[in-house]
């Protein structure tokens, strides 16, 4: 047995003895580990300075797919991903075309769907909501209604539309929250991309939320949150709160297990802030592949 195999076996045995289901989730051939993705916003500075070298470093670190941002205005990301054999399955896109469409037919969103079809993308993700769209529960209901229309358009093209959370959706508004409204109002065609960092920051338990959304979670963002923080924190997160996987408070193994149970398609590592993003993403993928 080589050192890597020994470390994997020892860690799995000590942490998860007696749980065959979890050990299965941690297996080296686990679909999420075998096809682990990276949300490229993590590397935005490097991609601007030297896109070719940055994308090569992503592939060299062991990532198999990349999730773009600012789609469709990300031609260099697409080119360098293709040059390095990295799959393109998902993109965060210009979300205002769906959240605040300029016309009833969502013509600008349809153009984005057409571009996604050309690349054979399977997923488009709404990455954010501006403050004016989330001032109250009625605002969230309006957003959900527009996204349901967009999801129907995307579904016709064979593309899954999803919503990526932050922490502000979990802030109480009377007896409910914005996220509760989205859960209640989203149509069957509209899914969630669950970011476990922001779920934890918002005072929720990621595994419990993923299980609650059984069948409604298309993708996950895996990122870790600094230990010792007083939660919830709905807004204004410090940069040093974003940690490499395994360096924070969020156990990733139960999340990967839950992902398999509820039908998640892809998992992507993300770290919004790091003093050395390339080193951080390498550390995170090593953590995933050695446990």
- For residue 63, give Cα distances in angstroms to 43, 82, 127: 13, 13, 21
In a domain, 178, yes or no: yes
What are the tens digits of pLDDT across the range 230-289? 999 999 999 999 999 999 999 999 999 999 999 999 999 999 999 999 999 999 999 998
Q: How confident is the model at residue 290 (pLDDT cuts 50, 70, 90)?
A: confident
In a domain, 225, yes or no: yes
In a domain, 12, yes or no: no
Q: What is the 3-state secondary structure (H, E, C) of 97-125?
A: HHHCCCCCCCHHHHHHHHHHHHHCCCEEE
d(CA 151, CA 162): 8
In a domain, 235, yes or no: yes
Q: How confident is the model at residue 194 (pLDDT cuts 50, 70, 90)?
A: very high
Report the CATH number at residue 55.
Answer: 3.20.20.150
How many separate domains does the chain show?
A: 1
Given a contact cutoff of 8 angstroms between Cβ atoms, the answer to whether 285 and 36 are in contact is yes
d(CA 211, CA 250): 16
**pLDDT at 26 (0 to 100):** 57
In a domain, 206, yes or no: yes
What are the tens digits of pLDDT across the range 128-167? 999 999 999 999 999 999 999 999 999 999 999 999 999 9
In a domain, 52, yes or no: yes
Rg for the chain, CA atoms, rounded: 19
pTM of the model: 0.91
Average pLDDT over the chain, rounded to an integer: 92
What are the tens digits of pLDDT across the range 108-133? 999 999 999 999 999 999 999 999 99
Domain that holds residue 156: 24-272+279-290
Given a contact cutoff of 8 angstroms between Cβ atoms, the answer to whether 145 and 183 are in contact is no
């Amino acid at each position: 047995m080589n050192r890597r195999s020994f470390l994997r076996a020892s860690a799995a045995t000590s942490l998860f003895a007696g749980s065959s289901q979890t050990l299965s989730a941690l297996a080296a051939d686990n679909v999420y580990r075998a096809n682990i993705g990276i949300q490229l916003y993590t590397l935005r500075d490097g991609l601007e300075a030297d896109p070719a070298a940055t994308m090569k470093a992503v592939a060299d670190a062991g990532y198999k797919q990349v999730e773009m941002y600012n789609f469709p205005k990300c031609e260099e990301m697409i080119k360098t991903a293709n040059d390095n054999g990295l799959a393109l399955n998902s993109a965060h896109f210009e979300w205002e075309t769906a959240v605040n469409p300029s016309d009833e037919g969502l013509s600008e969103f349809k153009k984005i769907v057409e571009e996604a079809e050309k690349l054979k993308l399977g997923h488009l993700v709404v990455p954010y909501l501006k403050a004016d769209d989330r001032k109250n529960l009625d605002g969230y209901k309006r957003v959900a209604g527009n996204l349901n229309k967009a999801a129907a358009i995307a579904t016709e093209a064979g593309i899954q539309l999803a919503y990526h959370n932050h922490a502000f959706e979990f802030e109480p508004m009377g007896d409910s929250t914005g996220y509760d409204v989205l859960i209640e109002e989203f149509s069957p065609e509209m899914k969630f991309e669950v970011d476990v960092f922001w779920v934890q920051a918002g005072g929720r338990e990621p595994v419990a939320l993923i299980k609650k959304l059984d069948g409604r979670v298309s993708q996950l963002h895996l990122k870790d949150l600094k230990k010792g923080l007083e939660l919830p924190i709905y807004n204004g997160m410090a940069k040093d709160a974003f940690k490499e996987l395994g360096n924070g408070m969020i156990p990733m193994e139960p999340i990967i297990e839950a992902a398999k149970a509820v039908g998640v398609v892809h998992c992507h590592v993300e770290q919004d802030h790091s003093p050395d993003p390339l080193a951080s993403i390498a550390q995170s993928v090593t953590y995933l592949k050695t446990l």
